[in-house]
Amino acid sequence: MRLRERAMKTRQAITIVTLVGFLVGAVSCMAEQDVPTLKDVLKNHFLIGGALNGRVVTGRDSLAAAIVEKHFNTATAENDLKWQRIHPWPDQYNWEPADSYVAYCEKNRMAIIGHCLVWHNQVPRWVFRDDSGNDLTRDVLLTRMKDHITTVVGRYKGRIKGWDVVNEALNEDGTLRNTPWLRIIGEGSEDKRYDYIEHAFRWAHEADPNAELYYNDYSLESSKAKCDGAVALVKHLKSKGIRIAAVGIQLHGSLTHPSVEGLEYAITSLAATGVKVMVTELDIRTQSRGYRGADISRVSRASTSDSDAASAETQKKLAEKYAEILSVLLKHKKDITRVTFWGVYDGASWIGGSPLLFDRSGQPKEAFFAVVRAARESR
Ligand code: G3I
C-alpha cells in the first residue's frame, strides 16, 4: 500500500474510533440520566441511604461516591465511629476518619447516623480490664462508658442526627446477651440487667439532647422471640422515662428470608411501643446456606460467596426479594423513617455474592429497578 493511502486509512480508522467512543459515551450518559434516583422516588416515604467506609468519604472509591451522591440522602459510618476505631487507647481518640465521614455527609447534605456507641464487638480489650488485666468494677466501667459517650456524642453535637446507642444486646431467644457490659455493670443481678443500656441512653441524651437515639439489632424480622425481647427493652426504657426514638431492624436478609409475616410482625410490634422503626443495614445474601444472622465471627465474604450470583435466575430472585421487602416497608411507611443499605455496591460489601442494588462495576441491577417500581407503585 502506498504511503498516502495508508495515512488516509489510518485517519479514517481514528475518526471511526473517535465517533464510536463519542456515541458510547453519549449513550451511557443518556442511560445514566435515565436511571431514576432512589432519594427522589422514595422522597415522600422515608430516608434512603447506605453504610459508607473510609474509601468512599475520602474519594478513593469514586464509583461508590457517585452512587452515594446520586441516590442517598442519609448515611451511616460502616466502621469509623466504632469504639475500636475512634477510641483505641484510654486517652487517645482517633478523630480523623469520623471527621472525614461527617464532613463528607454534610457536604452532600445527608442525614448523618452514628454507629455505634455500646457494642460487644470492635471494643478494645482495655475497656473492660484494669492495669493488672482483671475485670473492672461496675463503677469504673460505667465511668468509662460515660466518658466515651459524652466525648464522642459531644464532639458531633448538632451534626449527627441519630445514634445507634446500643447495638446487638439480645440473644436469639430475646434474653440479654452475656457481654462484658452486662456481666460487669449488671453484676449478674436481675434488677440491674438493663442498667448498662439505661445509662448509655441517658448519657447519650445528655450529650446531645436533640439527637435521636436508637436500639439496633439483627434477626428481629426472623425471630419473634428476639423481637419480643426488643419490645420488652423499649417498654422498660420508656417506663423509666428514657428517650428512645426508634428501633433499627438491621435486616441482613437472604433470598428466602425474612418472610413477609416475620417482617410485618417486627414492624407492627415495635411500632406499637410508640417508637419509629428503621431498616438500618439492609442487604440480601444470594447464597443462603447455613447461619442466617449477622455475627461477624460467623459470616465473611468467603462464607457467603456465590458462584451463581450473576446468573439471570439469581438476579431475578434477588429482585423479587427486594421488591417484596420494599413493598412491606412501604405498606408500613407511617412507622418507618429510614432505610439504609449495608454498603453501596456489591464489590464493597462486607459479604460476598450479590447482596446490594448495584453490581461490582457500580451499575444498577434488576433489583434496583424492582425497588424503584415498588416505590412508584406506593401512594
Ligand atoms: O481497618 C482494618 C485494617 O487496618 C486491618 O489491616 C484489617 C485486618 O483484619 O482489618 C481492618 O478492619 C476491619 C474492618 O471491618 C474494616 O475493613 C475489621 O478487621 C473487620 O472486623 C471489620 O468488619 C466490620 C464488622 O462490622 C465488625 O466491625 C465490617 O466491615 C462491617 O460491615 C460490620 O458491620 C456490622 C455492623 O457494624 C453491625 N451489624 C452487623 C454488621 C455486619 O457484621
The 3-state DSSP composition of the chain as helix, strand, coil percent (nearest 5) reads 45, 15, 40
Instruction: Report the nearest-CA residue for atom 16 of ligand 1.
Output: 79
For residues 253 and 219, what is the distance between their CA atoms, to the nearest angstrom? 9
Query: Would you say 193 and 182 are in contact if contact means Cβ atoms under 8 Å apart?
Result: yes
Give the distance, in angstroms, between the CA of residue 165 and the centroid of all CA atoms in the same chain: 14
pLDDT (0 to 100) of residue 15: 53
Burial 226-261 (b: 16+ CB within 10 A, else e): bbbbbbbbbeebeeeebebbbbbbbbbbbbebbeee
Contacts of 227 (CB under 8 A, 6+ apart): 174, 220, 221, 265, 266, 269, 270
* 37-377 CATH fold: TIM Barrel (3.20.20)
Element housing 285 (H / E): strand 276-285
Instruction: Report the nearest-CA residue for atom 30 of ligand 1.
Output: 350
Cα(352) to centroid of ligand 1, in Å? 14
Geometric angle at alpha carbon 14, from 8 and 15, rounded to 5°: 90
Cα(322) to centroid of ligand 1, in Å? 25
Q: Please report, in angstroms and rounded to a whole number, the separation of the first and last CA atoms in the chain.
A: 68
Identify the residues whose C-beta falls under 6 Å from ligand 1.
Answer: 78-79, 82, 121-122, 167, 218, 250, 281, 294, 296, 350
Q: Please list the rounded mean pLDDT of every run of 10 residues in the chain (379 residues).
A: 58 53 44 83 98 98 98 98 98 98 98 98 96 94 98 98 98 97 94 96 98 98 98 98 98 97 98 98 91 87 90 97 98 98 97 97 98 93
pLDDT (0 to 100) of residue 77: 98
Cα(79) to centroid of ligand 1, in Å? 6
Q: State the closest ligand 1 atom to the C-alpha of 167, by its place in the atom list counted from 1.
A: 38
Element housing 116 (H / E): strand 111-118
Cell 437515639 locates to 213
Cα(357) to centroid of ligand 1, in Å? 21
- For residue 116, say if its preceding peptide bond is cis, omega within 30 degrees of 0: yes
Q: State the closest ligand 1 atom to the C-alpha of 122, by its place in the atom list counted from 1.
A: 28
Best of 120, 166, 170, 350 for a ligand 1 pocket test (most atoms within 8 Å of beta carbon): 350
Contacts of 354 (CB under 8 A, 6+ apart): 286, 306, 309, 310, 314, 315, 318, 346, 365
Cα(181) to centroid of ligand 1, in Å? 21
The candidate with the shortest Cα–Cα distance to 36, out of 377, 368, 378, is: 368
For residues 108 and 56, what is the distance between their CA atoms, to the nearest angstrom? 12
Instruction: Report the nearest-CA residue for atom 29 of ligand 1.
Output: 350
Element housing 179 (H / E): none
Distances (CA, A) of 17 to 5, 21, 31, 370: 18, 6, 21, 36
